[in-house]
A = this chain, B = another copy of it.
Amino acid sequence: MGVKRIYLAGPEVFLDDAVEMGRRKKDLCRAYGFVGLYPFDNEVVPASPSDRLDRLIFSANASMIAEADLAIVNLTPFRGPSADVGSVFELGMAFGQGKPVFGYSNVVEVYLDRVSASGPVTEDRKGVHRDGFGMSIENFGNADNLMIDGCLAAQGRFLVRNAVPVAARFRDLDGFETCLRAASEFYAAGTVSERFRA
């Protein structure tokens, strides 16, 4: 089987202690028998002045996702009612490539409540909530857009939500560890069925 490699997606790459956050996540991966792949693992150095740093980071991350066996994605709301779009892109990419995906959020409120808190919301005669642009707001009790919760549900999982104080919102790793445990159980179950294969 070999040791499984986990792509570690999340907005913590924007923290001033992003490298230390990666170290903490990778240490936890190791404790659960995994290897963590973190965006900052790659030292991205432009080879020529015309090389764009952002394009090199994109390629490095996309290659890491392709190489990973699974992904754990930090889906904590970021700069608005939804998760970081960079992390969501990576979730979609990993899911599209058929890899097991796991997700957590350090905010527990449902999506509708967060949108309602961020601006004027009306309710039409059919009970549909609408934002300032008249656009409907999903009301399924999900943490975020139905594609996000849905891709986890399609794999028999759910988005892990923990109530974390605002000050620790992007550094708390309890939800991450819950995902690690779930991943560990997922592969342990897989091992059992592989054991009985011809």
Contact = CB atoms under 8 A, between A and B. Distances in A.
Interface string A62-83: 1001000000000000011111
A73 to B, nearest CB: 11
Interface stretch (A30-38, A87-95, A173-181, A182-190): A87-95
A58 B89 contact: no
Contacts of A133: 169-170
Given A55-B153, A61-B147, A134-B15, A88 B79 contact: no
Contacts of A154: 55, 58-59, 62
Contacts of A136: 14-16
A100 interface: no
A122 to B, nearest CB: 12
Given A85-B144, A88-B89, A96-B94, A11 B135 contact: yes
28 contacts: A14-B137, A15-B135, A16-B130, A16-B134, A53-B140, A54-B142, A54-B149, A55-B153, A58-B153, A59-B150, A59-B154, A61-B147, A62-B151, A79-B81, A79-B82, A79-B131, A80-B80, A85-B85, A85-B147, A85-B148, A86-B148, A88-B89, A88-B92, A89-B91, A89-B92, A89-B147, A94-B96, A96-B97
Given A54-B146, A86-B146, A90-B147, 14 more contacts: A15-B136, A54-B138, A54-B150, A55-B146, A61-B147, A62-B150, A79-B118, A79-B119, A82-B84, A85-B148, A92-B92, A96-B97, A97-B97, A133-B170
